[in-house]
Amino acid sequence: MHLRKPYLLLGSVALWILLGRLLQGKNTLQIATYENTSFTAFVGRKALDLRGNRTESPAFIYIFNPIRSAIDGFVQVIRNLIAVPAPNSVIPIIGWLGVVGLIAFAVFATSQWRTALLSVSLLLACGALGMWQYTMDSIAMTLAAVLLSLAIGIPLGIWAGLSDRTLKILTPLLDLAQILPTLVYMAPIALIFMIGAASATIATMIYSIPICIRITSHAIRTLNQSPIEAAESMGSTQKQTLTKVQIPMAKQMIVLGINQTVMAAVSFVVVAALIGAPGLGKPVIEALIIRNVGQGFVAGFAVVFLAILMDRSTSAAAKRQTSFIPPTAKEIKQKRIILIATGLLAAASVFISRTILWAAVWPKEIDISPQVARIANNATAWVLDNLYIFTVGFKDLISYSILNPLEVQLSASPWYVTVAMIVALALIIGGLRTAILAFVLAMAIVVSGLWYEAMLTLTQTIVGCLLTMIIGIALGIWTGRSDRVERALRPFLDAGQTLPAFVYLVPMLGLFGPTRFTAIATGIVYAIPVVVKLVCEGIRAVPHSLVEAATAAGSSTRQIITKVQLPAAKKTILLATNQGLIYVLAVVVIGGFVGAGGLGYLVIVGNSKPELQGKGLIAGAAILLLGVIFDRIMQAGARRSA
């Protein structure tokens, strides 16, 4: 069967291409972008009714409205503290100098002075870019979302770590949250909780909590069992074992989970500006809408600085314990004295920021944003003029050779031919159950009336995933076979996973203009780090005995890679392909801002035009269905290849 599978796949694709060419332009289900189907019009009316019942429906009066008010109040308290003027005041409770002092003290107390110095430098750089107010809003939003996410995620993670049943119940929900592109669930949340800080915080929590649960559960489940068994044998209760043994042992991994939760929140808070989140996402979106590359770079740099600040400060806390040798009494005393001194300095900075205006409001004279924007615009113009072959030339090469033919095949073929192809693909790769699921979900997209737009989005996703895997597998093999290359690329891969996807749109817009390829290129850059890391781990996991045996038999390097390492790492490569596809899909959807079209553009239009709100909501659901179809196919293929 394994030998027949490639031939069945090739035969199915050949038949699909043939039928698509013969029946081209028939039953494509294409409708105008600003035209509703009967189904999307129905959903739009229901959404309008839902908004109208906000003050009458018991669900809103007793559940949704109180939740919104509570979260909005919590966020506002933090914003009043550091970001916006407090009531009856012209300055926040803590001015910019006080914020710098407090962050320096907090980072120093949890890590070391170098990390504190880096954090202060990055924070001051955000101010120098003219983004202090936006940065404080982003920090406030992130802090609120993280605190609420940890309050839910850590207890659930501990519960899932202790209970197989709980983990089994939560796993499908966690998988769904990973598949779901961020743009998809913002519109329904905004519909229920209205546009604003509360909706943005809830959406950020939905994105962040699964990460916290997964890492906390993993931390509890992978503990050394000997100390736990010893505690139980000495008569410890389950609660005592958990609080005195398991949680302290898992502390470092849980702190890593906090780091990842913070990074997820930072990433999402930028995108959540689409539903009214204050902060750095607002100038990024404005720059994308008016195609102002220079302004986009200024805001993008501030986002990058904030992301690095959050990542380095929280990851340093996770890595702080480097020795199990307890500190001496003298070392403890010195540390306390230093902490007290730095704490007093932080308190002094807060006091000064409350009493002196220049220390309360960031000085307008310190603003290098015009210079940065000018440099960014000049650099973009130089690249476009002098590196034409690498920008427009490469874009046109991919567009004319791959993107356009595939788009014609997918969007101009009859819907039933492409559905049959997807089902055949699912049957050959994943089996009968996967094929049935793929058929049901594909037909749901057909019924939605957005099949044509779904095919445009699928085209861009496939091309992006294909290019991602070509680059990712090559780099993954290189890093997997060379420690030196792995050490050289690791900082770039870590940084790539740290930055929000939105930030990548700005330079790509400057290089390729508002086109479909801009979204694809952004998806490639965003997805490559995770693909490279997975392929690298797969190559490194191949037993050395296999490689040594092939070397002893006289195999060349190319033969070892193609005949030994890649086949042995096949399951990991399939997982990397699955992750690459999901990552690319998430960014291609956001690419609606830069001319990508398809479902992502409908979601964005639905948010801005009330008459198309139903179409935007259904487009979000269609994105989810596409993601689930190909995630299930890939996962089933990985299981069957094991």
DSSP codes of every residue in 576-606 = HHHHHHHHHHHHHHHGGGGT--HHHHHHHHH
Asked, for residue 484, whether it belongs to a domain, the answer is yes
The CB density around residue 631, as the number of other CB atoms within 10 Å, is 19
3-state secondary structure of 78: helix
pLDDT digits (tens, 9 = 90+) for 147-171: 999 999 999 999 998 898 998 999 8
Residue by residue, DSSP assigns 335-403 as HHHHHHHHHHHHHHHHHHHHH-HHHHS--TT---HHHHHHHHHHHHHHHHHH-GGGTHHHHHHHIIIII
- Domains identified in the chain, total number: 1
CB 86, CB 147: distance < 8 Å: no
Instruction: Write the CA distances from 585 to 182, 496, 526, 623, integer angstroms.
Output: 10, 17, 11, 8
CB 201, CB 61: distance < 8 Å: no
Q: Which two tokens stand for residue 587?
A: 């960014």
Asked, for residue 64, whether it belongs to a domain, the answer is no
Asked, for residue 414, whether it belongs to a domain, the answer is yes
The CB density around residue 297, as the number of other CB atoms within 10 Å, is 26
State yes or no: pLDDT of 370 exceeds 80: yes
Asked, for residue 559, whether it belongs to a domain, the answer is yes
Confidence at 121, pLDDT banded by 50, 70, 90: very high
Instruction: Give the Cα separation of 446 and 493 in Å (integer).
Output: 38
Confidence at 479, pLDDT banded by 50, 70, 90: very high
CA 36 to chain centre: 31
The CB density around residue 467, as the number of other CB atoms within 10 Å, is 20
Which residue range(s) make up the domain with 416?
386-641
Q: Which two tokens stand for residue 313?
A: 């400060």
Asked, for residue 35, whether it belongs to a domain, the answer is no
In 3D space, the residue among 177, 200, 317, 303 whose CA is nearest the CA of residue 258 turns out to be 317
The pLDDT of residue 327: 66
Asked, for residue 84, whether it belongs to a domain, the answer is no
CB 441, CB 628: distance < 8 Å: yes
State yes or no: pLDDT of 319 exceeds 70: no
State yes or no: pLDDT of 293 exceeds 90: no
The pLDDT of residue 318: 59
Asked, for residue 106, whether it belongs to a domain, the answer is no
State yes or no: pLDDT of 367 exceeds 80: yes
Q: Greater confidence, 31 or 181?
A: 31
CB 67, CB 148: distance < 8 Å: no
Buried/exposed code over 212-249 (b: 16+ C-beta within 10 A; e: otherwise): bbbbbbbbbeebeeeebeebeeeebeeeebbeebbbeb
Q: Report the pLDDT averaged over residues 13-34.
A: 90
In 3D space, the residue among 178, 262, 181, 256 whose CA is nearest the CA of residue 217 turns out to be 256
Q: Greater confidence, 501 or 566?
A: 566
> How many CA atoms, within 13 angstroms, populate the side-chain half-sphere of residue 537?
11
Using a cut of 0.75, tell me whether the model's pTM lies above it.
yes
pLDDT digits (tens, 9 = 90+) for 224-278: 888 888 888 888 788 888 888 888 888 888 888 888 888 888 888 888 888 888 8
Q: Which two tokens stand for residue 512?
A: 């390729």
In 3D space, the residue among 340, 331, 624, 287 whose CA is nearest the CA of residue 457 turns out to be 624
The pLDDT of residue 1: 45
Sign of CA dihedral 315, 318, 320, 322: negative
Instruction: Give the Cα separation of 555 and 548 in Å (integer).
Output: 10
Looking up residue 407, the CATH number of its domain turns out to be: 1.10.3720.10
Give the dihedral of Cα atoms 481, 487, 492, 493; nearest 10 deg. 50
Q: Which two tokens stand for residue 606?
A: 């639905």
> Percentage of the chain surpassing pLDDT 70?
97
Task: Output DSSP code: residue 131.
Answer: -
In 3D space, the residue among 272, 292, 297 whose CA is nearest the CA of residue 282 turns out to be 272
Instruction: Give the Cα separation of 153 and 561 in Å (integer).
Output: 41
Asked, for residue 457, whether it belongs to a domain, the answer is yes
* The residue count for the chain: 642
